[in-house]
Amino acid sequence: MPYTGCFMKEIFRIATSSPFSNFQETTEDVDFHGYGIPKSTIVIGNIFGQHYNDKIWDAPEEFRPERFMDEFNNSPSIISFSVGLRTCIGQTFARNVFFLLLVFLYQRFSFELDVASNPIPTDE
């Protein structure tokens, strides 16, 4: 079961449904890492940029669920359901249903790569 959780996190990271978060507005002047953001400024989070940031993720373009096997890597950097006060209200439901769907499919089906119809390029 732990690997299923890691697999889900990697899917949420690599296959984000929306590249940007919901629009949010600052309620006061903010200093963010040396950048001044005035009150009433619309802020849009770059979810895709966060999920593919090579300063956060080692080889972000590769699908590697193992990156989450470390118990300390419950990364807040996965923000598929947006951030802040306007995060998706259904994210708990979506995560639970997705978990059940993955387990259901894995229990009943066998998955393998069809190399003949989708050849993997080699470095030869």
| 123: in domain | no
CA angle at residue 32 from 29 to 34, to 5 degrees?
105
Number of domain units in the chain: 1
Name the residue range of residue 48's domain.
2-108
| 62: in domain | yes
| 115: in domain | no
12-44 pLDDT, tens per residue? 999 988 888 888 889 999 998 999 999 999 998
| 69: in domain | yes
| 121: in domain | no
| 118: in domain | no
| 124: in domain | no
58-83 pLDDT, tens per residue? 899 999 999 888 765 666 678 888 87
| Of 46, 54, 52, 55, nearest in space to 18 by CA | 46
| 84: in domain | yes
